[in-house]
Amino acid sequence: MTQGILIIAEHRQQALRPVSAELITAAQSVRGELGGKVTLAVIGRGGRRFESALALEGVDELVFVETPETEFESDTWEAAITALASELQPALILLAHSVDSMAFAAALAVRQGYGFATDVFGLAIEAGSLLATRGGYGQKLNVELEFPGRATVLLAVRGGSFKPPLGAGRPVTRDFECQIPKARTRNVAYIEPASTGDIDMTAKEFILSVGRGVGEQDNIERFRELAETLGASLGCSRPVADSGWLPKSRQIGQSGKTAVQCKLYIAMGISGAIQHLAGMKHVDTVIAVNTDANASIFTVARYGVVGDMFEIADELEKQFG
């Protein structure tokens, strides 16, 4: 009988990626129903350097798989995960939805007969069945997937979908040895892409976002100044970014950034499409301004103002300018 959860940590250029800790929180949402322990595995040469960073609340066991390569190699990772799963017999395997997992996860699932889904941002157990939520139809709606007849399910989880655990844990640690095939590829170097943005919205605690209601590009500067006055970072919805009025790096939503650290979010002229709401689901306090009293944004807002965003901007400038 399969039970328990196996998490695969992700690292790059000898640095642990934030999604590794987020996967621990994802596991907690279903571990009670699945039973068993939560095992977090680090694959790669010198993985012990991440031990203290991954000794977090919710992890029962840390496993280190020493391999010839320091960086990711698809055949190596597939062989290591196959061997780990053979020993642990987990009901669920979680890894990051990333360029790395795209290189091997689908092949691994097919070869081992796992249930499989990518770009997952929600997990639940209903009527004893595991449900994974991801976007569908160009991210216009949420799709719930289940995996009948699959003893083990492999899910690639979107980064930023879960907050990392805050507390430290005391997991058991051990090394894991398995047969690793000779790598068919090797990492030569990393070439950083040209910068496509000017800010990391995932780390901002106070965001003021504008949507389609801003009207035209010439109005963006007005709200940039308002954001600076309030001490906020200026964000936007997809229509604004697609129009080129603000960089994609400032887009909040399912196809943009998730406001993981945000505590206060002011949404001005944003209707609240499901794609945008996915990017702000971690926010503690949402204030919405919209002329449409029936706008979806008001269903998630703690405070709502039915009014013109320009008039509200004027009042805020008077109060805080």
> Taking the alpha carbons of 189, 194, 198, 200 in that order, is the dihedral positive or negative?
negative
Residue stretches of the chain with pLDDT short of 70: 138-140, 193-198
**In this predicted structure, what is the pLDDT of residue 279?**
81
Tens-place pLDDT, residues 268-293:
999 988 778 778 877 889 999 999 99
Structure tokens at 319: 């109060």
**In this predicted structure, what is the pLDDT of residue 194?**
63
> Taking the alpha carbons of 62, 65, 66, 69 in that order, is the dihedral positive or negative?
negative
**In this predicted structure, what is the pLDDT of residue 182?**
86
Q: Is the pTM of this model over 0.85?
A: no
Domains and CATH numbers, the chain: 5-175 (3.40.50.620), 201-320 (3.40.50.1220)
Contact 130, 154 (CB under 8 A): no
**In this predicted structure, what is the pLDDT of residue 257?**
80
